[in-house]
Chains A and B, each alone.
Chain A
């Protein structure tokens, strides 16, 4: 029994990350698919939440701690609340709001299949560099063994190399604000 457990643990150590990755990726795909085909809009919304959370987990597995946290705060925390509010406030719509016709499916496939084919073609023909090992070799973890994470590096880049797009995004937000005010106020005299 102990021997079996030991083998299992060893196997988990080898295949653990792969099992975790395919599990989460499967969850993301399944919840994204359900968000599209669900008959009720609130089911779609909650399915989307599962999808966002799964994507955050994928980011974390890739070592992007900052991105994973941002994903949770912005998408799971912010955008999902907005969507749920939107669903709550549009209760005048019939709840079973959607009929997926054969035509929609055909049109969707006509776009999705070529894009998918292109992605597979590119993914199959590219030699994917393994970044984590190279980076670990180049910059060993600081003394004490703590991983410095990506937040500091992203912060530096935003205020140096990408200062312009970072700052200019505020103008974009101002325009969005004015636009939202205009759309909410409406065209009534």
Chain B
């Protein structure tokens, strides 16, 4: 069902921007004693967004544009917007469970969550580099304030400051790259870039264009936590408030990959695919091993999830490496790589929130994020332990969970590229084993080690329902992925211009 007609490309953006303003107003007119209404208003906004994204937009419709091509709505954008809407709803649900720990400023907290969400919706459908920069900065700016939101805690301020300083560096890379791209093509739109490359008829593009692309990719690499732009990830994940960390892990990564995918589908062609494939293979190798090896010695759960999220960025980069070498070049391999990335992002969103919800509830009850304090969690709260275990196994890629199918699709797309992808395939498999090791270390603590403090941790009814729902979603996505895979494949095939 298409409820917005020609305005479909700005439907969710308008709703969430207005919703963010409404939340600020609700906060203004609500007395201090009834501040939980602010969270309820924010929840209502994200619930409407969730419904509008999944049931109010056509997935397979014609590509619609607005503002002279500044905003483009195609299948890939719809899929990404659905992922973001899901993540936004989960972020607000998680934030409501956290906000008792915020001394004040609930209105601002929810406003910033929604403004970040607005930026993510926009990022998934931008059509030119200027709009891309503005939308991307909306996401980054919101997250920088959210990370530093608990000003009374030095770690939180440190997280915000790191995000700000390194984020500015990344923004400078994006802008500098944009300037080079404009210099090389005389156009700021993705369509113009595509036309320019097509006019080269397979000849390699000029060096300034390649440099521009490289700079923009490096800037975006910051958002997704790609080596060598990953240094901020562990500190920010550890220092930021937990709901922010979860939203950042999902939202920043998905927003970055939305743009990387948009850029790669634009520039992938006979003249560039060799360099792109080489570049992404190297980046995937480095990111996979850095993230997963550095995760092993961690003792803090948020930091562990931070390093593992770098590892997940490495898996996602495998999908881009599936662009394939010239001799095996096959649009369907590239499209299957993009489809795998889209599916993986959705699965990763659900899984990450599943894990972080437990982290939030646990630290609310005990005030700790240390892995050693998770000892014996199965005896203190079987539900929390089981939910976290399922989420961790999904992150590790154990069947029949959502994470398994995502990894399977990524590996399959790399395998489609022929012998050149073999090394990467082996690297991916080795990293799955490394990942399994450190995730299971935490599971072992929860189930085998005796608790230091045996007092049970109560879980209230609505929270338990949320945990059950997330766990069920991970199982459903893993066991019956068909419908979602079809959506992702259709979107990716359309983006790469592959018929049927």
Contacts of A163 in B (CB 8 A): 67-68, 70
Contacts of B17 in A (CB 8 A): 171
A102 near B: Cβ within 8 Å?
no
Contacts of B112 in A (CB 8 A): 175, 178-179
- What are 21 residue pairs bridging A and B, where the CB atoms are less than 8 Å apart in the complex? A121-B211, A122-B180, A123-B208, A125-B208, A126-B184, A127-B206, A163-B70, A164-B66, A164-B67, A165-B70, A171-B115, A172-B134, A172-B137, A172-B141, A175-B112, A178-B111, A179-B108, A179-B142, A181-B108, A183-B145, A187-B104
B470 near A: Cβ within 8 Å?
no
A176 near B: Cβ within 8 Å?
yes
Contacts of B134 in A (CB 8 A): 165, 168-169, 172
Q: A179 CA to B108 CA in the complex, in Å?
A: 8
Inter-subunit contact A182/B70 (CB<8 Å): no
Shortest distance between the CB of B308 and any CB in chain A (Å): 26
A189 near B: Cβ within 8 Å?
yes
Residue of chain B at shortest CB distance from A186:
B151
Inter-subunit contact B206/A125 (CB<8 Å): yes
Interface string of B186-220 (1 = CB under 8 A from A): 00000000000000000000111011001000000
A22 near B: Cβ within 8 Å?
no
Contacts of B214 in A (CB 8 A): 118
Inter-subunit contact B211/A183 (CB<8 Å): no
Q: A124 CA to B111 CA in the complex, in Å?
A: 48
Which of A122, A165, A172, A185 is close to B211, meaning CB atoms less than 8 Å apart?
A122
Inter-subunit contact B118/A164 (CB<8 Å): no
Contacts of B67 in A (CB 8 A): 163-164
Shortest distance between the CB of A78 and any CB in chain B (Å): 17
Inter-subunit contact A187/B71 (CB<8 Å): no
Contacts of A164 in B (CB 8 A): 66-67, 70-71, 131
A119 near B: Cβ within 8 Å?
yes
Contacts of A182 in B (CB 8 A): 105, 108, 145, 149
Question: Which of under 10, 10 to 19, 20 to 34, or 35 or more describes the interface residues of A?
Answer: 20 to 34
Residue of chain A at shortest CB distance from B108:
A182
Contacts of A165 in B (CB 8 A): 70, 128, 130-131, 133-134
Q: A187 CA to B155 CA in the complex, in Å?
A: 14
Inter-subunit contact A162/B70 (CB<8 Å): yes
Contacts of B145 in A (CB 8 A): 175, 178-179, 182-183
Shortest distance between the CB of B114 and any CB in chain A (Å): 10
Question: Top 4 nearest A-B pairs by Cβ distance?
Answer: A179-B145, A164-B70, A187-B151, A122-B211
Q: Apart from A179-B144, A185-B105, what 6 extra A-B contacts exist at CB < 8 Å?
A: A119-B211, A122-B211, A161-B70, A169-B134, A171-B17, A172-B138
Inter-subunit contact A187/B103 (CB<8 Å): yes
B148 near A: Cβ within 8 Å?
yes
A146 near B: Cβ within 8 Å?
no
Residue of chain A at shortest CB distance from B210:
A122
Contacts of A99 in B (CB 8 A): none
Q: A186 CA to B108 CA in the complex, in Å?
A: 12
Number of interface residues of B (CB under 8 A): 41
Inter-subunit contact A175/B105 (CB<8 Å): no
Once A122-B180, A168-B122, A172-B138 are accepted as A-B contacts, the answer to whether A187 and B207 lie under 8 Å apart by CB is: no
Contacts of A123 in B (CB 8 A): 208
Inter-subunit contact B135/A187 (CB<8 Å): no
A160 near B: Cβ within 8 Å?
yes
Q: A168 CA to B125 CA in the complex, in Å?
A: 14
Q: A30 CA to B137 CA in the complex, in Å?
A: 31
Inter-subunit contact A171/B152 (CB<8 Å): no
Shortest distance between the CB of A155 and any CB in chain B (Å): 15
B24 near A: Cβ within 8 Å?
yes
B150 near A: Cβ within 8 Å?
yes
Q: A188 CA to B103 CA in the complex, in Å?
A: 7
Which of A169, A175, A183 is close to B151, meaning CB atoms less than 8 Å apart?
A183
Q: A122 CA to B215 CA in the complex, in Å?
A: 12
Interface string of B211-249 (1 = CB under 8 A from A): 100100000000000000000000000000000000000
Inter-subunit contact B118/A187 (CB<8 Å): no
Which of A119, A122, A176, A188 is close to B141, meaning CB atoms less than 8 Å apart?
A176
Once A122-B211, A182-B149 are accepted as A-B contacts, the answer to whether A189 and B137 lie under 8 Å apart by CB is: no
Contacts of A187 in B (CB 8 A): 103-105, 149-152
Interface string of B113-143 (1 = CB under 8 A from A): 0010010001000001011011101100110
Which of B103, B104, B108, B206 is close to A178, meaning CB atoms less than 8 Å apart?
B108
Shortest distance between the CB of A107 and any CB in chain B (Å): 11
Q: A164 CA to B464 CA in the complex, in Å?
A: 43
Residue of chain A at shortest CB distance from B148:
A183
Q: A162 CA to B132 CA in the complex, in Å?
A: 12
Q: A46 CA to B183 CA in the complex, in Å?
A: 32
Contacts of A171 in B (CB 8 A): 17, 115, 118, 138
Contacts of A126 in B (CB 8 A): 184, 206-208
Q: A4 CA to B66 CA in the complex, in Å?
A: 64
Contacts of B105 in A (CB 8 A): 182, 185, 187
Inter-subunit contact A175/B115 (CB<8 Å): yes
Q: A160 CA to B68 CA in the complex, in Å?
A: 8
Q: A160 CA to B134 CA in the complex, in Å?
A: 17
Q: A186 CA to B211 CA in the complex, in Å?
A: 42
